[in-house]
Structures are given as structure tokens and as C-alpha cells.
Amino acid sequence: MSQSQSQRLPEPVTGPMPRSAVPQTGQFQAQPATPSVERWRLQVVHRTKFSYAGPVRSSYNEARMTPENTTRQTTLRSRVEVEPAATMHAYRDYWGSTVTAFDLHGPHRELAVVATSVVEAGPEPEQAAVVSWEALGDADVVDRFGEMLRPTRLTAMDAPVVRAARDVVGDADPREAGHRISRFVHDHMQYLSGSTNVKTNAMQAWTSGKGVCQDMAHVSVGLLRALGIPARYVSGYLHPKPGAPIGEAVRGESHAWVEWWDGSWTGYDPTNVVEIGTRHVTLGRGRDYKDVPPLKGIFSGPRSEGHSVVVEVTRLA
């Protein structure tokens, strides 16, 4: 029997986790950030545990849990650990995400994956001048960002909603249009945990009027693309406290938001209607959730009895 292990993260549960270490380091050199930009140092511990009805014969998995290095974010340390211990290797996928691949070939009733990272994060230190709508329609721009302009099964939006979005945008330039679309989505959709799943598409979430961060990101991406603005889905973490004290470990979140190209990539969090900054840790980007699931895999053996996830975030500085 084979079953996907890529699922929406359930409500966290507590309890000890096995930590048989298989190290992974931050292997990419980051560009230094502008000193005047505020940055937080965050530690993120992401624990996932799968349980099975009996011994599983083999398991093949991919983890996208290593934060990136950019002008906005520096990954100081990153480690992925697996129990039972497994041989692991890391690579960059087509979208630029760091993937930790591992497989198990001995009987096991549980699989635990723990990703621990220390990251310095802040707002983007600078942005390019905003381009015009005419520039976005240029053939070179359309060719360059073609994959971020086409709808996917998870992001396609119906024509009446796109017309409403155009009315909301009005005469705004592409950068302001992105902000207006994000606020439009936030105002229409209620955040309700458990109301959708990883197979829910943007129109289904929009029609129901509720969803989670993944759904709000999918709807925002879909509308931006329909307006001719290149847009991508971003996977990461969010510290839930804007005024977080240093040293306090809190229950964090696996999170999703959106970026659009308006001369440079502009990030925004439609779920919380805030700019991307000190509380956001980026893991990866893609066309939609399917390109950047934190953990996915297949296994051979008895059925899964479910899985649990705990994300713990601590502000270190």
C-alpha cells in the first residue's frame, strides 16, 4: 500500500520526539543585509511524527524545511534529523528550494522528522522602482515570468471574481495593486483552521468565504496572475507575536504568503495584512503549495494512523 505523506499541518500536539541526528548545514552564502534594517534572530524547531498501524517496509521522503539565504534573510544554522536514522542528501530543486531527501528500508512503526534552524530575518532592504502596466505586458517580461503568470489547478479564479478584483485595483500602479488585492482577499475570507485541506483550490475557498493561510495565498496569487502581474506562492514560518520578548519559546506556525513582481519581488502576507519582515522565515517558493510542501513522501506497508506537527519559534535577538 502506498500513500502520500504530504498533508495540511494539523493542530500541534506536545510530547517528546526522538532526535537521532542526521546533520545538514546551511550550505549557501548569503549577501550581507543593510545594517539599518531591523532584523530578528529566530530559532525554528519543526517536529513532524507519523505513526503506522504496523511495521512499514520502506519509506521515501522529501523535506523542504531548510530556510533560504537572501538579502532579507540569513540562515545561520540548519539541521534536519530523522528517526529511524536514514541516509540523507540535499539538493536545490527547480524552484530554488533546498530539499533534504531520505529513504528508509528497514521495518518501522513511526517516522519522526525534526528540522531546527536559526535565521536572521527582516524586511527587504531595498526595492527597485515600480514598473508600469505596459512594462508588465512586454513580451520579454511575459516570457521571463511565464510560469508565474499562468493559472494552476490550485490558483485559477473565475472571471466574475477577476472583474471584481479589477474594480478594486482601479488606477493603482502594479505595486499598489498587489497590496489592494491582498487586502481584498483578507476582507472577503475568514481565517478558519480545518475548513479546507491541501486539495482545496482557490475558487472553492473563495466561494466558501473561509480558509487558512494557504488558501488566502492561492487566491491572491490567482488574482494577481489574472491581472497580468507575475506572482508566486511562498512557504515558510511566522512568529505569532509582533512584540515577542527575547528567549520565550512559543507555538509558531507553518505559514504561506505571496510575492508579486512589479520591478522587483514584493512580499505581502494577506492572512495578517502585513508586509514581510522580522517575523517571517522563508523556506521556498513555487507556483502553488504543491511545489513547496514542507514534507512529502510515500511508504509501503500498513496504513497510516495519522501524524502530528509541532512548530516552536523562539526570538533569540
> Mind listing the pLDDT tens digit for each residue in 8-49?
333 332 233 333 333 444 433 344 444 467 999 999 999 999
Beta bridge partners of 51: 110
Task: Give the max Cα distance, the chain.
Answer: 61
What share of the chain in percent tops pLDDT 70?
89
Residue that the C-alpha cell 498587489 belongs to: 178
Note the pLDDT of residue 89.
96
- Distance (Å, whole) CA 135 – CA 123: 26
Neighbours of 259 (CB within 10 A): 25
- Distance (Å, whole) CA 76 – CA 88: 20
Average model confidence (pLDDT) across the chain = 90
Beta bridge partners of 275: 268
pLDDT tens digits along 51-64: 999 999 999 999 99
pLDDT greater than 50 at residue 4: no
pLDDT greater than 70 at residue 292: yes
pLDDT greater than 50 at residue 97: yes
Range of weakest confidence among 33-47, 75-89, 102-116, 196-210: 33-47
Note the pLDDT of residue 32.
42
Residue that the C-alpha cell 498533508 belongs to: 7
Question: What integer is the mean pLDDT of 307-312?
Answer: 96
Measured CA distances, 157 to 153, 181, 256 (Å): 9, 13, 19
Note the pLDDT of residue 26.
41
Note the pLDDT of residue 75.
98
Note the pLDDT of residue 188.
98
What share of the chain in percent tops pLDDT 90?
88
Question: What integer is the mean pLDDT of 284-303?
Answer: 97
Cis ω on the peptide bond leading into residue 32 (within 30° of 0)?
no
Note the pLDDT of residue 199.
95
Note the pLDDT of residue 36.
61
- Distance (Å, whole) CA 4 – CA 15: 24
pLDDT greater than 60 at residue 182: yes
3-state secondary structure the chain: CCCCCCCCCCCCCCCCCCCCCCCCCCCCCCCCCCCCCCCEEEEEEEEEEEEEEEEECEEEEEECCCCCCCCCEEEEEEEEEEECCCEEEEEECCCCCEEEEEEECCCEEEEEEEEEEEEEECCCCCCCCCCCHHHHCCHHHHHHCHHHCCCCCCCCCCHHHHHHHHHHHCCCCHHHHHHHHHHHHHHHCEECCCCCCCCCCHHHHHHHCEECHHHHHHHHHHHHHHCCCCEEEEEEEECCCCCCCCCCEEECEEEEEEEEECCCEEEEECCCCEECCCCEEEEEEECCHHHCCCEEEEEECCCEEEEEEEEEEEECC
Which amino acid appears at position 272 of this protein? N
Order of strands, sheet of 249-251, starting from the edge strand that comes earlier in the sequence: 73-83, 108-121, 40-56, 304-315, 249-251
Question: What integer is the mean pLDDT of 210-227?
Answer: 98
Note the pLDDT of residue 20.
36
Note the pLDDT of residue 9.
31
Question: What integer is the mean pLDDT of 102-115?
Answer: 97
Question: What integer is the mean pLDDT of 200-229?
Answer: 98
pTM of the predicted structure, to 2 decimals = 0.89
pLDDT greater than 50 at residue 209: yes
Note the pLDDT of residue 253.
83
Note the pLDDT of residue 5.
45
Range 34-56 burial, b when 16+ CB lie within 10 A, else e: eeeeebbbbbbbbbbbbebeeeb
pLDDT greater than 70 at residue 311: yes
